[in-house]
Every structure is written in C-alpha cells, then in structure tokens.
Amino acid sequence: MTQPPEPSRARRFLSTIALAIRGGQEDFTTGSLGRAVLLLSVPMVLEMLMESVFAVVDVYFVAGLGASAVATVGITESLLTLIYAVAIGLSMGTTAMVARRIGEKRPDDASRVAAHAIAAGAVASLPIAIIGLFSARDVLALMGADEWSLTHGVPYARWMLGGNVVIMLIFIINAVFRGAGDAAIAMRVLWVANGINILLDPALITGWGPFPEMGIRGAAVATNIGRGIGVLYQLAVLCFGSGRIRLGWHTVRLKADVMWRLVRVSLGGIGQYVIATSSWIALMRIMAVFGSESLAGYTIGVRIVIFSILPAWGLSNAAATLVGQNLGAGNPDRAESAVWLTGWVNMAFMVTVGALSFAFAEPLVRIFTDDPAVIRVGADCVRVFCLGYLFYSWELVIVQSFNGAGDTYTPTWINFFCFWLFEIPLAYVLAIAAGMGERGVYGSVVIAESVAALVGIALFRRGKWKQREI
C-alpha cells in the first residue's frame, strides 16, 4: 500500500502556527524544542502586539488634546509603572510556580497557586486605589505637572490609579495561562480587552455618536472598561473552561504555605521591577526640567519603542514557561537550550525592528503630533534607543529565564546596580551637568540596559538557577 507523502516543511510550519493560535493541550517537556518555542511564542507575540497597538492608539487620540495632555499621560504612566511592578512581580512568581507544578504533572497544585495569586493581586491593588482616588492632584504636582495637567488631567490620573485592580488582575491571570502553557488563551484575553479599549478610546475622548465627550478622562474610562471585561473573560475561562487550570472550591481555600512560597518568589520580581520602573520615574522627572514639549516628545518616543519591544517580550515569556516546565520535569539541559534558542530568535527580530524604527523615526512621531518641537524630541528619542536593541533582546530573554526558574533575585540585583546606582546618576550627569539635554537621558538608558544584558548573560552561564526550588 502506498504511503501518503510527508507534508512539506512549509506546510508543517503553517500547521504549527495555526495550532499555536488555536491553542491546545501540549507537553512542552518533550519533543522538538523549536516547535515548542514556536507554539508558545506565536500567541505570546500576538498578545504583546495587541498591547503595543493599544499603547500607540491611546496616545494618538490623547495627542489631539495637546502637548500638556500627552505629558499628563506620560506622568501618570510613570506612576502606573509602580503598579505594573507589583502586577508583573506577582506575575513572575505565578508563572514560575504554575509552570513548575505543570512540569511536575500536578495541575491541581497549579490551580491552587492561581487562586492564591488572584487573591494577592486584589489585596495589593487596594492601597494604590485609595491613593489615586484621594490624592491624584498632589501626586501630579509632585511629579512637576503643568497647570493644564493639574486642572484637566486629575480625572485621568484618578481613574487610572483608582481602577488599578483590573490592570493587576489581567496581568496575573494571564501569567497563570502562560505558566500552564495555555498561551493562546492569554492572547485572546488581551485582544478582547484592548480591542474594546481601542474602540472606546476615540468614542469617549472626542464624543462620537451617542458617547459623551470626556476629553482625556475618556482614555482612562476606556482602559478600565476594556480591561475590566478582559478580567471577567479570564475568570469565566478559569471557572468554566477546559484548560489545564480550573478554579473550584477545592482550590480557592487559601493556605499559608502556598501563599508564602508565592510571595517569596514574587518579592524578588516586585523588587526587580520597582527598581527598574522607579528609575523611569526618575528619568521622567529629569525630562520635566526641559518643559512640556520635551515631556510630550519623550512620552511619544517611549510609546513607539514600547510598540516595537513588546512582541520581543512575548518571545521572552516563552522562554520563561519552557524553563519552568522543564525544570519541573527534571530536565535542566533542555531548559537551558530553550533559552539560547529563544535568545537568537529574539535578537534577529529586534535588530530588524530597531533598524526600521531608526530609519522611520520622524514619520512615526508625526503620526501623533505636528508640533515641530515635540517631533524633534520624539524622533531623537527613538533613534537613540534603537542603538541598544541588540542588547535589549538578550536582556529580555535572560531576565525572563531567571524568573521562569523562580530565581527572581538575581535580576533584582542586576537592576539595582545598573539602574539605580548607574543609570540615574549617569542621566543627570549627561543631561544636566554635561549639558547634553534630553539626549543625555536617552544615552544613559542605552548604556545601562546594555551593561545589564552583558552581566545577565555572564550570571546565567554559571547555571545556579538550575538548582532553584520553589
């Protein structure tokens, strides 16, 4: 009997892409490592691509309200980075523990970790919400906001800070899905949440059709509605879906030992991102010295950079899942091989994106504004940042690999020395003392991130992360 012909390599590749987007129950601790990277990275990249699109669309519509409105978003975003630090820190601990339990073939224990992570995120959001609801104006004033921001931007900051629980939970629950290897679910959640957000943004900012014209506050309201619906979708999947993680009465009972392990791993992640993101707040404060046009250009430039980097973050998340699950399965060599493979792919992607962003920096900024001063600052910001894309690609993968192994403290120390002790003083010296202006801030970021990448690679090669117990 004649055997059917083997499918071509192109057909196998397309079939794998389709499976990655559709989702399915896959064992990432055996089989082709390249196929595992592809199955995880495709939905994670698409997930982050939608986050990138939202970041750009959001600032695009706000930019129509003027430079001060964009500066308000930039200042509030710099404050929200502290919220992201807690959310991402908890997400790192969650992904590491869920992935380890899945690799050990213990899905009920992985579900128990998910329930504890959701509870921790909800509690952590409360103090931030209280500060946002009652002290938004004081916080903006402390960050050097101008009179327009203090008059018109307070509702935006109040909505974003006060509603931070939806940001917290959407990060944490998607981390559950990624740790379990259900990356396609996390992708769909973010596409739903940010898709709604993108549609509501112009409607609520400018007052399309039956919607009220809310100005800058409309951007915040749209974000809370979109991500709130995303969280409801996540909870529905966890409670009633057929994925690896299922929330039931046997998993939602909180246990001190599980919570302590989660908090212990997450504290390193929280510290890691508090250090990294608070350095961005310090840089924003230095940029404020040069006026609202510089702040607006910097905000737009950073959003463009985020647009190009977030898909690479998705690739890095694939490495974290593979490291966690393969360590759980007792296969550290496969975990390490996954990191190097993902790193090379990420480098090729980011170098290409960096070259394109450098070449089209000014047209990209012009999408958001026609103010010549803002265009100059924003385009300069993009071009300088692009010079470090090769190093950023490896830093993202290596850091997420440490985190996937549950070793969240090594990246914390790297960030502490490279960002607090090096980047912030360097930015001040270059921008203020040396008279380089805004470009001094951008240059300090490129130098510090490159150093962090090289140090991270050196420490990763030592292999101590392979013995991490969580």
Burial label for 16, CB within 10 Å (0-12, 13-18, 19+), is: middle
pLDDT in tens, 278-300: 787 788 888 888 887 888 888 88
If pLDDT is split at 50, 70 and 90, which confidence band does 7 have? Answer: low
| pLDDT of 55 | 67
Domain-embedded: residue 13: no
What average pLDDT does the segment 65-76 reach? 77
- Looking at the 3D structure of the chain, how many domains does it have? 1
pLDDT at residue 295, rounded to an integer: 83
- Name the band, by pLDDT with cuts 50, 70 and 90, for residue 6: low
User: Does position 447 have pLDDT exceeding 90, yes or no?
Assistant: yes
Lowest mean pLDDT among 94-103, 295-304, 397-406: 295-304
pLDDT band at 4 (very low <50, low <70, confident <90, very high): low
- pLDDT tens, residue by residue, 231-290: 999 999 999 877 788 888 777 788 888 899 999 999 998 888 788 777 877 888 888 888
DSSP state of 466: G
Answer yes or no: is 383 within a domain.
Answer: yes
Residue 353 lies in a domain: yes
**Within a domain: 10:** no
Q: How many residues does the chain have?
A: 470
Question: How high is the mean pLDDT of the chain?
Answer: 87
Please say if the pLDDT value at position 72 is more than 90: no
pLDDT-derived band at 117 (thresholds 50, 70, 90) equals very high
Rounding to the nearest 10 degrees, give the CA dihedral for residues 88, 91, 97, 98.
-150
Whether 455 is covered by a domain: the verdict is yes
For residue 77, pLDDT over 80 is answered with no
pLDDT above 70: residue 1: no
Name the residue range of residue 110's domain: 32-465
DSSP string, 219-284: HHHHHHHHHHHHHHHHHHHHHHS-SS----HHHHS--HHHHHHHHHHHHHHHHHHHHHHHHHHHHH
Query: Does the pLDDT value for residue 27 go beyond 90?
Result: no
Residue 387 lies in a domain: yes
pLDDT value at 195 more than 80:
yes
Query: Higher pLDDT residue, 3 or 208?
Result: 208
Answer yes or no: are the C-beta atoms of 368 and 301 closer than 8 Å.
no
Q: Is pLDDT above 80 for 189?
A: yes
Give dist(CA 227, CA 16) in Å, integer: 29
In a domain, 20, yes or no: no
Specify the range with the lowest mean pLDDT, choosing from 133-137, 421-425, 463-467: 133-137
* Residue in 452, 325, 231, 407 with CA at minimum distance from that of residue 37: 325
- At 332 the pLDDT is 93
pLDDT of residue 410: 93
Residue 152 has pLDDT above 80, yes or no: no
Specify the pLDDT at position 3: 55
pLDDT in tens, 308-359: 887 788 889 899 999 999 999 999 999 999 999 999 999 999 999 999 999 9
Which pLDDT score, from 0 to 100, does residue 253 have?
82
Of 256, 331, 269, 232, the residue nearest 94 (C-alpha): 269
For the four alpha carbons of 406, 408, 410 and 411, in that order, the dihedral sign comes to: positive
User: In this predicted structure, what is the pLDDT of residue 177?
Assistant: 93
Task: Please check whether residue 203 lies inside any domain of the structure.
Answer: yes
